Amino acid sequence: MSILAFAAVSFAFFQTASADFAAREATRLDTCIARIDEDPEEAYEDALAWSFEGNRPGSRQCVALSLIALGQEAEGAARLEELANATDGGTLEKRALYLTQAGNAWLVAGAPEAAILTITNALKIIPNDPDLLVDRASAHILLEQWTQAISDLDAALESAPGFGTAHHLRAEARLNTGDLDMALADVKAAMQAEPDNIDTLVLRGRVREAIRLSEVRIVPPQAE
């Protein structure tokens, strides 16, 4: 066999072996993530054991997600951000996923500033993604940054018209800026998308009450 032919056979073998390894890693990650819902402590222990085998990206991701499920959201978010920035973090799509998961974890951890930074980095990879824009808007709302929230929600609805969550959050932001008619319009759109959403029904009541109060006129006392 010539050197070129041998090299071609070796390369084909390497590609096959690499693909098989990647498939096994993906299956192991799926199994680990599924276990998180059933028993996060066991999933965490399995992920740690897996990481000792080579500290590969899948094991680190599952460790981070297990920590989040165990109530250590900030630690899990930080680990996911490290993975997104690691040399072996993988494709841009995978890095965007890590950042998205980290951003959500920061929100749960009550750290909206960190969530905004992380989600903004994810949006650099996936511009105009409506889910990411809604997540960032949620962080802005927690900080009472109503204008920034509305801007993100406008963009989300431009990408995904009729997105119920985006309409709900924009109604909340508009309610807090006093734009009551537009807030009510968003509530109606959110209810059309998700008619049984109790939170939207509650929000509709708040918006209607704000409108009622805005229409109250103080009648001056009559002169005697």
Query: Taking the model in full, what pTM does it have?
Result: 0.83
Q: Rounded CA gap, 13 and 156, in Å?
A: 45
Q: Rounded CA gap, 218 and 18, in Å?
A: 77
The pLDDT score that the predictor gives to residue 146 is: 98
The pLDDT score that the predictor gives to residue 13 is: 44
In the chain, DSSP finds a helix count (H) and a strand count (E) of 11, 0
Across all residues in the chain, what is the average pLDDT? 89
Residues of the chain with pLDDT under 70: 1-19, 21-22, 217-224
Q: Rounded CA gap, 189 and 201, in Å?
A: 12
What are the tens digits of pLDDT across the range 69-118? 999 999 999 999 999 999 999 999 999 999 999 999 999 999 999 999 99
The pLDDT score that the predictor gives to residue 130 is: 98
The pLDDT score that the predictor gives to residue 212 is: 94
The pLDDT score that the predictor gives to residue 17 is: 47
The pLDDT score that the predictor gives to residue 220 is: 54
The pLDDT score that the predictor gives to residue 132 is: 98
The pLDDT score that the predictor gives to residue 14 is: 41
Q: Rounded CA gap, 40 and 71, in Å?
A: 10
